[in-house]
Every structure is written in structure tokens, then in C-alpha cells.
Structure 1
């Protein structure tokens, strides 16, 4: 049986071994910086380079890097070519994440577009259709407001897929539209991810860079998957002062889709105090 003296001694030891958060702050200790793991992946409606439709394989690729946020392109919802599966809902189930879907095109009685997976609650989302030039395919940008615990306001997370044709007029117009859209939110923390169908030094990417910063300044090729030569899949951030890039890498998975997924890991920096 524990005596009163033993109980008092045990309590005193616990007080020594477990310092309070307030004491840690007084001693100048810093909290571990909050990190976000962001994946962009063009999934080719779940069809791999082996010709097989396999959403479980796509989900395994996603889960292999434990992302907090995922931007997906070329996603089908209840389309016969992909066995009429609600791909956004199925991937959310397989990855145990929240989901939002932006339909850009009607397809075979279903829809085709972009999707977002999130470990955190999705407070709101809206799909914005992008400009169409010279009878191109309707494209869009899906904007979601994500409730990230470390941020006072919801994070803006945008998932997009630009035009693939040789002339870049539509891609430039899409970049301008996205810049105009995000400018309405002031200096709110924002991330943009997707298949831009253009390269680092292109006019469309340069247009985005008037409002955004590329996560990687040196190209990391994402296509073609067997022998990657060009980076056309990107993650971007704004404002620059709120983010620190920890790592950017392309996943070595050349079967599940015709694009390699790209992962960016960020630290969220504290907001600067308002000027007096």
C-alpha cells in the first residue's frame, strides 16, 4: 500500500519530469514547425501504363508518402470507361481522406475533372471553369478552403489541369484567371498544384509566378514515366514569406498512371505581426 509520503514523493517527481508549456516558452524553447505534405498526381482516370484500371493501386501510391493534401487530375465520376465508379468517393474511402470534386466535362453520362483529397476538414469548395480558346477542352480549377489547425484562416488549396495543345494562349489565359481569382483573398496562405502541361521557363508558368512561387526551382521531370524528360506537374505557394520548402521529389512509380506524382513538403511559418 502506498503511504502518504510515497504519494507526495511521486507527485513531486512528476512535476520535475513534465515541465509545462509555459515554462518551455520562458526557457526559449521553440515548438516543432508545422509541416504540410502536398502531392499532385495526374491519375489518367485510374488506368496505368499496363492498360489496367486499378484505383487501389493509385491509392497505394498516394498513401506511400502520407500526404496531407492531394491534387488529382483526370478523375472520372460514374463514367462507363472506368466501370462507372465514383472515383473521387472511392479514393477518399481507400485513403481515408476528405474529398472535393470539380466537374469540368460531361463524359459518357458521368463527369470528368479534378479532385482534392484532404486529411483536414474541407470548409468549402468551388469549381471555377477556365477560359476556352479555339474550341479546346473545358478545363477548370477547383478551389477548396482547408481547415489546417496551425492557420488562423482556412488554407486555400487549388487543383488544376491546363490545356495540352502546342499553342500556349489558353494556358496563359488560365494562369491569368487563377491569379485574378486568388488575388481576391489578399495574403491568405495558398497552395496551387496540378498538371500545367507546360515547363519551367514557359510563358504560362511565368505568368503564374507573378503571384506564386514554384516549390522547386530546378526542374524535376514527371513525364514520360518510363524515361522522364520534362516537368509539367507542379506545386506552387503564396505568399512566399509564409512557407519554407523542406523537400520536393518525384515518386518513382512508372505503372499506375502516365504521369509521375510530385510531392512537396512545406513548413508553415508564423505570420508577421502587424506593423505599428
Structure 2
């Protein structure tokens, strides 16, 4: 069935899908536990590539869905490790990887971990000009164990340069890609503070899970700025139950963000 909430077609970037058995979760309240984490290609502020450490952090909050940014797949930098597959193995979650560009003999991009089967996977490019790092948004369609309908979950990482024009164009594209009223969650490192033009553009179409309890996420040692988010739409289909920034100063240069949302049933 060619169900899609996107206007544009899928572009030919490599996707890796690795499945493993995961324990079922009761979805009687239709709650979704979401974690977003820029893992800095698994290299901590102590210089160590420690996948067990990252997996422990992820497992500690028992997430249903995880958005990962700055993920290496079989690069020389990471010693040839397939980071999405390894984190999927260590957490017991299913994996989708969306390569943004070739790097160091392998791939670099976003990844998603999921408790639930991945019904559909997309990797869509975001606008970018010459001299800027390519960006993309990785999206999966999932269905919770006892939910009546599937929904979409997307992971992205926006431009990091001082010039905000790239991020503004990427934010506009995200607003265009997800256009109908089906429930969707968007998580990632947006490289923009809440009061920025980029976030104001996104907030025209998305709600911020941490709007009532914002907390900084970078740098990991002593966070001063908030640039990592969980967003949702439409507002009428979700209820925020909890958000928090995890107290983890070493495993990456960002701190992970947890959001627990409840899906609102339609009549």
C-alpha cells in the first residue's frame, strides 16, 4: 500500500534496515517514549568510542523510538564499525540508517531505533548550497503494538554554520514534506535555539514537546544552549506527558533528550 505523507519522492540514498526481536510493550494508553541523541559518531568527550556506554544510556529510559544524529557506518574513523547495526544489537531495537553522504570509506548520517516494526522508510534530502555539509531527514512509519493506526517518526540534523539561511531553507522543506493531519513526531539536532528564525519557522507547523519545561542540551559537560528537540504535529493528536534532558556529560558532546507523549484518539 503506497501510503505517504510526503509530497516529494524518495531519493536514492543508501538505507540500511536491520531487524531484531524486541519485547512487546503494552500500548493501552498509547504512550510513546522518544529519545533524540546526537552521538558524535559514538566518540565521547573522553575520546573513547564506547558503544556499550551509549547503549546503556539509551536503554536506561526504555524508549520506543530513538533519533540518532552524527552516525557513522563502516567508516575508517570508527574503525569500520557499522554503528547503527551495533547500537541496534546492543539495545535490542530495530534499525534504519539514512546515509547523508559518503565519508571516510563509509557512510555518515541519521539513524532510527524502534521497538516496533518499520513499515516504511524514507530518506529525503534537505536543501543545501555548495560548501555546506549535505543534510537529510530519515523517516519511518511504525505501528505500536495495540494502536489502531500507524504514525510517522522522523530524525534530522540541520546545518550548523553561523549563516541561518541554510537552516531556514531546511526548516521550510521539513514543513513542506509533512503536510497532512496524520500524527508525526520529528526529533533531532536542529542547531537552532528556540528564539531563532529557524525555530519560529518550524513552530508555524510544529509544537515543541519541551515548550513548558525547556532545558539546555549543549555542550554536554555544562549545557548552556538548547538545540535538540522533539516536535510533534498536529497538536490535537498528541499530549505531552514528560520531557527531560538526561544528565550525561561524557558519552557525546550533546546530552540526550527524552519526551513521553500520549496519542490522542480520534472519534
Fold shared by both chains (TM-score > 0.5): yes
> 1:149 aligned to 123, 145, 169, which one?
145
Tell me whether 1:65 sits opposite 2:61 in the alignment.
yes
Instruction: Using the TM superposition, give the Cα deviation of residue 150 of structure 1 relative to its aligned residue in structure 2, in angstroms.
Output: 4.5
- Contact 1:33 1:269 survives alignment (8 Å): no
SS in 2 for 1:80: coil
Show the counterpart of 1:258: 253
1:123 and 1:216 mapped to 2: Cα distance? 28
Matched residue count = 240
Tell me whether 1:194 sits opposite 2:188 in the alignment.
yes
Change (3 A) 1:51 1:37: same
Between Structure 1 and Structure 2, whose CA radius of gyration is higher?
Answer: 1
Show the counterpart of 2:264: 269
1:114 and 1:45 mapped to 2: Cα distance? 10
Tell me whether 1:241 sits opposite 2:244 in the alignment.
no
1:126 and 1:162 mapped to 2: Cα distance? 17
Instruction: Using the TM superposition, give the Cα deviation of residue 151 of structure 1 relative to its aligned residue in structure 2, in angstroms.
Output: 3.8
Show the counterpart of 2:22: none
1:181 and 1:228 mapped to 2: Cα distance? 31
Instruction: Using the TM superposition, give the Cα deviation of residue 133 of structure 1 relative to its aligned residue in structure 2, in angstroms.
Output: 2.6
Show the counterpart of 2:80: 84
Once the two structures are overlaid, the 10-residue window that deviates more, 49-58 or 144-153, is 144-153
> 2:48 aligned to 44, 49, 52, which one?
52
SS in 1 for 2:178: helix
2:172 and 2:141 mapped to 1: Cα distance? 21
Could you say which structure has the greater relative contact order, defined with CA pairs below 8 angstroms and 6 or more residues apart? 2
- Give the 5 Å matches for 1:1-80: 33-80=29-76
Instruction: Using the TM superposition, give the Cα deviation of residue 153 of structure 1 relative to its aligned residue in structure 2, in angstroms.
Output: 3.2
- Contact 2:30 2:147 survives alignment (8 Å): no
- Contact 2:96 2:113 survives alignment (8 Å): yes
CA root-mean-square deviation: 1.2
Instruction: Using the TM superposition, give the Cα deviation of residue 92 of structure 1 relative to its aligned residue in structure 2, in angstroms.
Output: 0.6
Unpaired segments of 5 or more residues in structure 1? Answer: 1-30
